[in-house]
Amino acid sequence: MTINETEYAIDQAVVDFVETGIVNGETDAMDRIALRNLLLAMIGKEDLDTQLVPSQSLPDRLDLLDRLVDWAVANGKIEDYQYTRETLEAQIMSLITPMPSVINKHFWEVYAENPETATDYFYELSQNNDYIKTRSIAKNIAFQHRTDYGELEITINLSKPEKDPKQIALAKNVPASAYPACQLCMENEGYAGRIDHPARANHRIVRMPLNGEKWGLQYSPYAYYEEHCIFLAEEHKPMKLDKHTFEKLLGIITQFPHYFVGSNADLPIVGGSILSHDHYQGGRHTFAMAEAPVERPFEMNRFASIQAGIVKWPMSVIRLAGKDAHELAEAATFILDAWRGYSDEAAEILHVTEGIPHNTITPIARMKDGLFELDLVLRNNRTSPEFPDGIFHPHPDVQNIKKENIGLIEVMGLAILPPRLKDELIEIENYLNGETAEIAPYHQEWVAGLVDKKDRTGADAAEVVQEAVSEAFLRVLEDAGVFKRTPEGQQAFLRFVGQLR
C-alpha cells in the first residue's frame, strides 16, 4: 500500500468511526465535524480528506478502532505499550460515548416504563463502547459438568491480558497516586488511566438511590457471565457485612427484580479481592446454586412468615424466602449474628482464636416465584498447620487446579480458573494421547489417575480432562463447605440450625 493509499484508508477509518456513533444514536449528526477533528488530534493526524463520505456498509467498530490505534503507534503519537494502546482506545471510544448525565437521564426515563429495558440499554451501550471487553471475554474457555448438585460451570479466565514486561519495568518508576482511591471508586468514570491504573475514559456509571445512600450501577469490563454488573457505594468505605447489607441486597432486587445480587464475605481468605470499597456483584444469570433444592426445611419460630431450609449444595447454605423484605433482612441478621458467635470443635469450627474472628457469610439475593429469596453461605477462614491456606479452602490435593480464594461467583457454581491451565491442560491431553508432553510437577500425581481412567473407559482425552477438572472444582466447593456432606457433617449442620429455631 502506498503512502497515499494509507492516508486514504485512515481518513476513511476516521469518517466511518464517527459515523458508527451517529448511526447508533450515541452522538448527534451535528457533532460530526467536531468529533472527526477531535479524533484526528487523538491519533496525531493534522488533516482529513473532506470529500470522503461514510462507507455504505460501515466496518466493524472495533476493527476501525484497531486501525486508528495502529496509525497512532506507527506515526509516533503514542509509544507501543499495552497501557498506551488501552488508554488511546478508551479515549477514542469516549468520543462516541454519551456523557453520564445523558445516559442517566435516558436510563431512568426508560426504567419508568420497564427496568429490564433500562438495563438492556445500558448493557448494550457498555458493550458497544468497548468498556465491556467482548473480544477478550470471547477468549475464555468454558464448559459444563453435570453433578448431583446441578450443572457446574467451568471457565478458564483468559480475558485479562498479561502485562507487557516492559510496562512492568516502567511502572516501578511511577510515583504512587491515591487518585482514584481504588478501581471501584466513582472517580474512575472518565479517568484517562495511567501505567498502574486501567484506562476508564469510556467508563460510565448509572446513579441510583439505595436505602438512603447514593450508589451506582456499572458493568464488569471482564464479565464472567451474562450482564455481570457491579453495584458500588458512592463513598469509598470498606465492605461490612451486617443487617444493612441484607437490606441493601433486597433493595437492589426490589429495583432490578430480573437480576440477582450478592456480596462477597467480609473476611480475608473467604472474602473478595477488593474489601476496601463497599460493593456487590449481580447480573442476569442463573447459577446452579439458585436451582438447587431445599433438602431440609426448618422453622424459625420468631420469623413465622419466613420459609427456611438447608440447600442441597456442596457448600453450607441456608435459604430464606418470603414476601416481606424487612422481615427477611431481620431473619438473615439473626442467622449472621448466631453464626458469628458459633463454634463446634467436632466440626473444626471455631468462631474466634486469639481475638481474631473467623465466621462470616456470603449472601446472595434474588426474586423467585414472587418471593424474595436469600441464600446465606456459611464461611470460616481459620487456618491450621495442616491447612495453612485455610481449613475451609481448596486443600493441597486440588490446588493444582484451583488455589485461589473461593469468592461469590464460585460459591454459586461457576469456576474461575487461572490462565495457566489453558496450556497445561493441552499438554496433559497430549500426554493422554501418547504424545510427547511437558507435565508440570504439581499435576503429575493427578495425571497418573487420568491415564488409568482413560485406559479403563476408552474416553476421549479432552473429555477425560474436562471431567477431571470439573470433579476437582466440585471438591474445591466441598473443601470450602464448613459442614461436610457426610452424615457427621450434616448432623453438625443440624446442631447449628437447632439454635435458630
Given a cut of 80, whether residue 8 has pLDDT beyond it is: no
Report pLDDT for 158: 93
> How far is Cα 350 from Cα 196, in angstroms, rounded to an integer?
40
Report pLDDT for 1: 39
Given a cut of 60, whether residue 486 has pLDDT beyond it is: yes
CB 10 within 8 A of CB 68: yes
What residue type is 397 in one-letter code?
Answer: D
End-to-end alpha carbon distance in the chain: 78
Given a cut of 90, whether residue 53 has pLDDT beyond it is: yes
Query: 24-33, 176-185, 450-459, 490-499: which has the minimum mean pLDDT?
Result: 450-459
- 164 Cβ neighbours under 8 A, 6+ residues apart: 81, 82, 83
Report pLDDT for 2: 42
Report pLDDT for 455: 79
What is the pLDDT averaged over residues 5-23?
89
Report pLDDT for 275: 82
> How far is Cα 170 from Cα 79, in angstroms, rounded to an integer?
12
The distance of Cα 379 from the centroid of its chain, to the nearest Å, equals: 20
The whole-chain average pLDDT of the chain stands at 94
Q: Burial of 409 by CB count in 10 Å (0-12 exposed, 13-18 middle, 19+ buried)?
A: buried
> How far is Cα 39 from Cα 66, in angstroms, rounded to an integer?
13
> How far is Cα 137 from Cα 360, in angstroms, rounded to an integer?
32
All 3 cell numbers of residue 501? 429455631
Q: How confident is the model at residue 177 (pLDDT cuts 50, 70, 90)?
A: confident
pTM of the model: 0.93
pLDDT tens profile 237-282 = 998 999 999 999 999 999 999 999 999 999 999 976 678 899 999 9
Name which of 45, 153, 227 is nearest 474 in CA terms.
Answer: 153
* Residue 377 backbone phi and psi in degrees, to 5: -95, 115
All 3 cell numbers of residue 307? 420459609
pLDDT tens profile 363-386 = 999 999 999 999 999 999 999 999
> How far is Cα 80 from Cα 77, in angstroms, rounded to an integer?
10
What residue type is 113 in one-letter code?
Answer: E
CB 27 within 8 A of CB 36: no
pLDDT tens profile 326-339 = 999 999 999 999 99
Given a cut of 80, whether residue 17 has pLDDT beyond it is: yes
Q: What is the DSSP string of 115-161?
A: HHHHHHHHHHHHHHTTSS-HHHHTT-EEEEEEETTEEEEEEE---SP
Given a cut of 70, whether residue 164 has pLDDT beyond it is: no
> How far is Cα 60 from Cα 24, in angstroms, rounded to an integer?
13
Q: Percentage of residues in the chain with pLDDT exceeding 90?
A: 89
Q: Burial of 162 by CB count in 10 Å (0-12 exposed, 13-18 middle, 19+ buried)?
A: exposed
> How far is Cα 206 from Cα 121, in angstroms, rounded to an integer?
11
Name which of 225, 192, 181 is nearest 78 in CA terms.
Answer: 192
* β-bridge mates for residue 297, sequence order: 309
> How far is Cα 117 from Cα 404, in angstroms, rounded to an integer?
36
Centre a 10 Å sphere on the Cβ of residue 487 and count the other Cβ atoms it contains.
Answer: 8
Q: Percentage of residues in the chain with pLDDT exceeding 70?
A: 96
Name which of 382, 409, 410, 385 is nearest 482 in CA terms.
Answer: 382
> How far is Cα 461 from Cα 465, in angstroms, rounded to an integer?
6
Report pLDDT for 3: 40
Given a cut of 90, whether residue 184 has pLDDT beyond it is: yes
Given a cut of 70, whether residue 169 has pLDDT beyond it is: no
Q: How confident is the model at residue 218 (pLDDT cuts 50, 70, 90)?
A: very high
pLDDT tens profile 79-105 = 999 999 999 999 999 999 999 999 999
Given a cut of 60, whether residue 5 has pLDDT beyond it is: no
* β-bridge mates for residue 367, sequence order: 372
User: For residue 183, what is the DSSP state?
Assistant: T
The distance of Cα 359 from the centroid of its chain, to the nearest Å, equals: 24
CB 86 within 8 A of CB 199: yes
Q: How confident is the model at residue 501 (pLDDT cuts 50, 70, 90)?
A: confident
All 3 cell numbers of residue 115? 427496568
pLDDT tens profile 398-433 = 999 999 999 999 999 999 999 999 999 999 999 999
- 9 Cβ neighbours under 8 A, 6+ residues apart: 1, 67
Report pLDDT for 453: 84
Note if the bond before 268 is cis, omega within 30 degrees: no
